[in-house]
A and B are shown apart, each in its own frame.
Chain A
Amino acid sequence: MSPRTGPGLCADLHVSRGALDLRLCLTVPPGEVVALLGPNGAGKSTALQAIAGLVQVTAGTVSVGGRCLEDSAAGRRVPVEQRRIGMVFQDYLLFPHLSALDNVAFGLRVAGVARRSANARAHAWLEQVGLGAGEAAERPAGLSGGQAQRVALARALATDPELLLLDEPLAALDAGTRVLVRAELRRHLSGYAGSTVLVTHDPLDAMVLADRIVVLEHGQVVQTGTAAEVARAPRTDYVARLVGLNLLRGRSHGHDVVLDGGGSCTTADLVEGPALVSFRPSSVTLHRQPPEGSARNVWQGRVAGLEQHADAVRVQVEAEPSVLADVTTAAVADLDLSPGAPVWATVKATEVSCYPA
């Protein structure tokens, strides 16, 4: 059982909505940033909305700083406007009829802060996110994407919420701006004293911004850990694909793993029982002839597809097991790799990591 209250955010949620059946237990102490990472339809945004009180929770509890916001068993439900949370929406939802300053001051004005003092605090927040008087007077339509994102963050933080919720905060930005804003957002989040929950489908956002990553798939938590932990030892195909690793499932005995999908694999790690095996596509070597050498894992198959991937070509090899291999463009030409070509894929046992499933 999770603690029902405590410092920071404690959420234990079950939300049933159409095809989605979301179950999430989440504790975020003050100062920590947790990223909910997952594919589309995994229920990440629904989870965020449930915490914010924007969707009906089927069952569960939500508390922030010991204050109960939702308790379905006790029939308690604090309405959104009384939850005292800060929320940044994917497309920011800055009020188009108000200036950037009035947008940031909105929460303070609504809370009864006098205009002058609210404006002064809004100005201070805008300054903190790097926006001056010029941008403050601008309506949202006159702001760039990066500026609008910063105004949205300032607006969410201006009321000093204990919980900050960010829904795909960088998704609306173009690639160039994104890198800049991401670094900036990291800085603001580390300076923020409350709990932060961030929803993203971009692993880089999650890794840069979050202290801890919770991976959601089909409404279930499939993995949780620091960025390094998740990247090193993915537990699902989705995560493996995100961090660019081959992931195989099987049953390990000593150094040998009998794979669920057929074939076997030798690793340097000692694991007993159900296990996950992962290795980098760049650790895979391809040959057109049966290879000689020290590699312990040799799989015969054929090329299923080729795809340019950064500065390498990612080759899908259909074999037992099927794997991804990253090779240079020159190697593709030398080996005359084309779909259907028979190949041998090899991986050294030392390149393969194995961990209990």
Chain B
Amino acid sequence: MPASTFPDRAVAQGRPPVPLLVPALLALGFLVLPLVGLVLRAPWRRLPELLLDPAVLEALRLSLLCGLLATVVCVLLGVPLAWMLARTEFPAKRLVRALVTVPLVLPPVVGGVALLMLLGRRGVIGQYLDAWFGLTLPFTTTAVVIAESFVALPFLVIAVEGALRAADPRYETAAATLGASRWTTFRRVTLPMAAPGVAAGAVLCFARALGEFGATITFAGSFPGVTRTMPIEVYLQLQTDPDTAIVLSLLLLAASVAVLVALRDRWTARRLG
């Protein structure tokens, strides 16, 4: 798109200089070649058999289930938070926005440790969950969903906040003059208008949840069928049956490509927001 906006740029400015061109090509190769290697080394002939391996299917089922549940949790909690950030003024709003982005830069393992400290059996809240309700979260499927939600929520909040900021708030004013309360306006005007942004955020959120490893293995462990999601299965299989690990990796790669295709208009063509 930018190339067509400046049709004369190539003519006007000549060829890219070598000190920029060479590292640029190296960077591209660095990003693409490992994936090419993965595809080249894939045991294509054994693929059906490996895909139907109960361990693979189990990990796949668990990953999809937890990823979807985490996405639902993130949408239910994240959209209201994004709305608060985009549409209301409150003290320390900048601080809140900064806190929201912390899990983006935090090593996921640290996130897992933090979740254990909060929700573990001896944790700040976990001890009461255990004592009062007999509820133990760590090393359960619920823990997987919690860990994935923790790392994926910022993606959703940021994407949806951007979509809400891009939506003209004057439509909400128009709704108010027609008698709509703020809640009604949110449901009937704001949310439908921001729907593409929410959908994009949800897809991104799902992709992040699907790939979650560090926080999950720390907070939920690795129990087959309970907490052993695909990334964990990949890591374990690599030590015993590399072919299975490659097949699982291909699946995750395919999921990532699918996400890129789903978001192609918002993510690749344009910059986010």
Contact = CB atoms under 8 A, between A and B. Distances in A.
A155 B175 CA distance: 11
A81 B171 contact: no
B180 A93 contact: no
A155 B178 contact: yes
B174 A81 contact: no
A29 B177 CA distance: 21
Interface in B129-179: 168, 170-171, 173-179
Nearest to A96: B193
Interface string B183-206: 010001100110100000000000
A111 B179 CA distance: 7
B87 to A, nearest CB: 15
Given A106-B188, A110-B184, A95 B171 contact: yes
A147 B177 CA distance: 21
A107 B174 contact: no
Interface string A283-301: 0000000000000000000
A86 interface: yes
A87 B189 CA distance: 17
A111 B184 CA distance: 11
Contacts of B193: 95-97
B180 A106 contact: yes
A83 B179 CA distance: 8
Contacts of B168: 93
A133 interface: no
A159 B179 contact: yes
A288 to B, nearest CB: 54
A95 B189 contact: yes
A106 B172 CA distance: 12
B179 A87 contact: no
Contacts of A89: 170, 174
Contacts, number: 59
A87 B176 CA distance: 10
Contacts of B184: 110
Contacts of A97: 192-193, 195
A86 B178 CA distance: 7
Contact of B176 (A81, A86, A96, A159): A81
Interface residues of A, number: 23
Identify the interface centre among B168, B175, B179: most chain A CB within 10 Å of its CB. B179
A270 B181 CA distance: 59
Interface in A119-163: 155-156, 159
Interface in A74-92: 79-87, 89
A95 B188 CA distance: 10
A43 B168 CA distance: 23
Contact of A107 (B173, B178, B181, B195): B178
B177 A86 contact: yes
Contacts of B176: 54, 79-81
A277 B149 CA distance: 76
Contacts of A85: 177
Contact of B178 (A54, A96, A159): A159
Given A96-B193, A97-B193, A82 B171 contact: no
Nearest to B171: A93
A324 interface: no
Contacts of A54: 173, 176-177
A106 B188 CA distance: 9
A159 to B, nearest CB: 6
Interface string A49-88: 0001010000000000000000000000001111111110
A84 B195 CA distance: 29
Contact of A106 (B170, B175, B181, B195): B175
Nearest to B180: A110
Contact of B179 (A84, A93, A96): A84
Nearest to A111: B179
A111 B181 CA distance: 10
A80 B192 contact: no
16 contacts: A52-B177, A79-B176, A80-B177, A81-B177, A81-B179, A84-B179, A86-B177, A89-B174, A93-B168, A96-B193, A97-B192, A106-B188, A107-B178, A110-B184, A110-B188, A111-B179
Closest 10 CB pairs of A and B: A107-B178, A93-B174, A87-B177, A80-B176, A110-B180, A97-B192, A81-B176, A110-B179, A81-B179, A106-B178
Given A97-B195, A106-B178, A107-B180, 12 more contacts: A54-B176, A80-B177, A81-B180, A81-B181, A83-B177, A84-B179, A86-B177, A93-B174, A106-B180, A106-B188, A107-B178, A107-B179
